[in-house]
Amino acid sequence: MERTIYLKNLLNSSQVALRTTTDLILQEILSQSDSKKQIIIDFTDINFISRSFTHQFITAIESLKTTYQISLKNMLPEVASMVLAIQEQKINQDFTKSRKNLFPNNFDSQNPVSFF
């Protein structure tokens, strides 16, 4: 037996922000009396890439997986790769490779210089 929660429907029905959607979905999951029921979270038509939301959402889902059977489906590739990285805690792995020089060469935070 399974129950599917469509993210898109939650967004359309309540006009809430994605951050609030996390809470709504968690409430939906926690309201299931039968923890053995398979819960599917369907990402159809969801295209968000907000790291802060995705990280918050997936972390919450991962912690609930110890009690509930939860699966995610129909994710766009961008979303899926973000989710996978968060699940595998790989998100910081390649960061240093792509770093740009963030500060001027003679930078000293205590000795401001003129911008122009």
Tell me which of 40, 46, 53, 60 binds other proteins, using CB under 8 A.
Answer: 53
Please count the other Cβ atoms lying within 10 Å of the Cβ belonging to residue 7. 22
Tell me which of 5, 20, 28, 64 binds other proteins, using CB under 8 A.
Answer: 20
Place of tokens 């469509």: 6
Place of tokens 């740009």: 100
Tell me which of 27, 31, 33, 98 binds other proteins, using CB under 8 A.
Answer: 98
> In the complex, what is the shortest distance from the CB of residue 42 to other proteins, in angstroms, rounded to a whole number?
19
> Which H/E stretch holds residue 7?
helix 7-14
> Which H/E stretch holds residue 26?
helix 18-30
**Cβ nearer to other proteins, comparing 31 with 104:** 104
**Cβ nearer to other proteins, comparing 36 with 99:** 99
